[in-house]
Amino acid sequence: MLALPDGECQHHRATGQVRHPRRRIDLVATPQTVKPREISEGGDRIVSTTSSKVAIKPLEDRIVVQPLDAEQTTASGLVIPDTAKEKPQEGVVLAVGPGRFENGERLPLDVKTGDVVLYSKYGGTEVKYNGEEYLVLSARDVLAIIEK
């Protein structure tokens, strides 16, 4: 193993931080409170957070959904532990892609930002970003829009 003094390490000179050879250090600070909010840039819908300048913008016919929490108690009042909870199938649409191309024209999506949707149980890709859980779904994985 080659070890350089702090002053000779390229990473230390560039950032002023030292890496430990055996430990993974997360250099991205997770914010205390991250509340997703919707902003618009050039007409496109994107997801941004109050403490971050980075945004999630879905491509093609994909949508970003924040899953709603599953029930914590049963009808009789029993508390359900996290290990026994069902995977949620309901969530709020935070961002919508522009739609996919078919025969040279772009097909718009049926859902819009703010809709509460019912999606297939194992559809989409789970993403953890800034301490928040999101789900990136294809429009085909959305089963219905829930109107309340």
**pLDDT of residue 62 exceeding 60:** yes
When the pLDDT of each residue in the chain is averaged and rounded to a whole number, the result is 70
Q: Which domains does the chain have, with CATH numbers?
A: 27-146 (2.30.33.40)
Mean pLDDT of the 69-79 span: 72
Q: What is the pTM of this model?
A: 0.56
Pairing outcome for strands 52-56 and 44-49: antiparallel
How would residue 104 be classed by pLDDT, with cut points 50, 70 and 90?
confident
